[in-house]
Amino acid sequence: MEDIRFYNFEFKLLCIESLFLSVNWRIKYNEVGQFEAHFPLTSEVFKIVAENPYLVAVQGKQAAIVTGFQAMEDLAVFGRSLNWLFTKRIVPDFEPVTGTVGKITCDLVENAFLDVENFVVDGSLDKGEEVSFSQKEYRTLADVVKECLKLQGAGHEVQFDPQHKLWIYRVVIGQEQPVMVSEDNRNVTATEWSSDLLDLCTAGWYQQKQESTEENRETGAIWTFADSEKEEGIYRWDCLLQGETEAEALQDLSQKTKTSKIVAQNADLAWHTDYELGDMVRVQVKKGDLLQTAKKRVIGVHLWYEEGQKGEQPEFESDEEA
């Protein structure tokens, strides 16, 4: 495994450590990832993390904000992927804007970090259909960016560039790969197929906002029914919905689905060779007489090193079934 380097937020290299007990990276496609590494108590890293509150840990192409440490039998250092910084910026509400999700989120990030001269955006992946996107309340930049990119199945990352002293926001768009993931192909083992309808609903009620008119000067909200029109009778399951318009309520309803999940233990899949984050691959599970094949997006990867052993485990998204 490569050395772990520690920089401060001004891109100054403070420490290079090659003697670590274990390291775990959980890298996500459109979420905040995690980092954890363990070092001997005699490591120089202990002094660095104890005396410097703002640090970035870098190993190869992976980087994380150091969020804390714990000293017991050894030194554990914890962190979050660089896009965790987006949880520390707030975006005000705004009227609908039109553009690709790449263009919209690049503008949002750029505006949120106007006070950081070396925080830049990479707009090279400004592709795809245009969408209309708005926000009705103040939210974290992390939530807004994630929600916008999800409209077109995109993801994002923040890169740490010590050479040019830059923080760089990039949109990531996965591709469809000709890979069949299955036990028969011996690239995974211990496959698992599960299904869950606990959160399934097909209709619901929301508080529709009433606008003031000359005839009716009162404003407020009235409970209104929204129906997907997919089920009726005993098969119509109601819930309370978020939103002030029918479109917003139906968008919330679309999230209350039956889910189908496939889990598989990696045996012979290599990140950057067989797949990238966001890519779509075919996953096949055979249990008894049933065979399930589905396209799955790779939404994360777990990389680890411990006691001389290293490995990786891709994470597949769950299907949402109406």
CATH code at position 149: 3.55.50
Q: Does residue 122 sit in the same domain as residue 110?
A: yes
Tokens of 81: 């992927």
Q: What is the pLDDT of residue 212?
A: 61
Q: Are residues 131 and 240 in the same domain?
A: no
CA dist 131 and 60 (Å) reads 35
Q: What is the pLDDT of residue 53?
A: 94
Domain end residue (candidates: 38, 69, 85): 85
Q: What pLDDT is recorded for position 303?
A: 95
To the nearest 10 degrees (0 to 180), the angle between helices 101-112 and 141-150 is 170
Same domain (yes/no): 146, 116? yes
Q: How many domains does the chain have?
A: 4
Question: Do 190 and 277 share a domain, yes or no?
Answer: yes
Predicted confidence at residue 123, as pLDDT, reads 79
Query: Would you call 75 exposed, middle or buried from its count of C-beta atoms within 10 A (0-12, 13-18, 19+)?
Result: buried
Q: Which two tokens stand for residue 50?
A: 């104890």
Q: Structural domain of residue 103, as residue ranges?
A: 89-172
Low-confidence ranges of the chain (pLDDT < 50): 321-322
Instruction: Give the domain-ending residue among 33, 51, 85.
Output: 85
Q: Please, what sign has the CA dihedral across residues 90, 94, 96, 102?
A: negative
